[in-house]
Amino acid sequence: MRYTWHWLTSTDDARMKTVGAFQAKAQLSRLLDDVARGETVTITRRGHPVAVLAPAKPERGRKTGETLLAEMKRLRKGVRLGDIKVKDLITEGRKY
């Protein structure tokens, strides 16, 4: 596989691979392996950059239903608008 190396202007002098669109299509599995190792690959068409393959950001931890329910109850508890409780406003709104 032939790559063209371009030096970036960042302070850490990181290098980015540049690959033509046809080559990217033919070698996608290998490029995805490179990206999984943390590399960034620029895909060009006729020498002009059209896309960047970069590692995905790590997924945030998901909260379980029980955790979300506990957090909602904690946030609801003791919430006041001056001397009025939110619960009283909800009850008042249900009358109409």
| CATH code of 11's domain | 3.40.1620.10
Handedness of CA 54, 57, 58, 59 (dihedral sign): negative
Domain shared by 38 and 71, yes or no: no
pLDDT score for 91: 87
pLDDT score for 80: 66
Residues of the chain with pLDDT under 70: 1-15, 78-80, 96
Q: What is the pTM of this model?
A: 0.48
48-70: pLDDT as tens digits: 999 999 998 877 777 788 888 88
Query: Does some domain include residue 58?
Result: no
Residue 18 is part of which domain span? Answer: 4-53
Q: Tell me the Cα Rg of the chain.
A: 26
pLDDT score for 71: 87
pLDDT score for 79: 67
Domain shared by 41 and 72, yes or no: no
- Mean pLDDT taken over the chain: 80
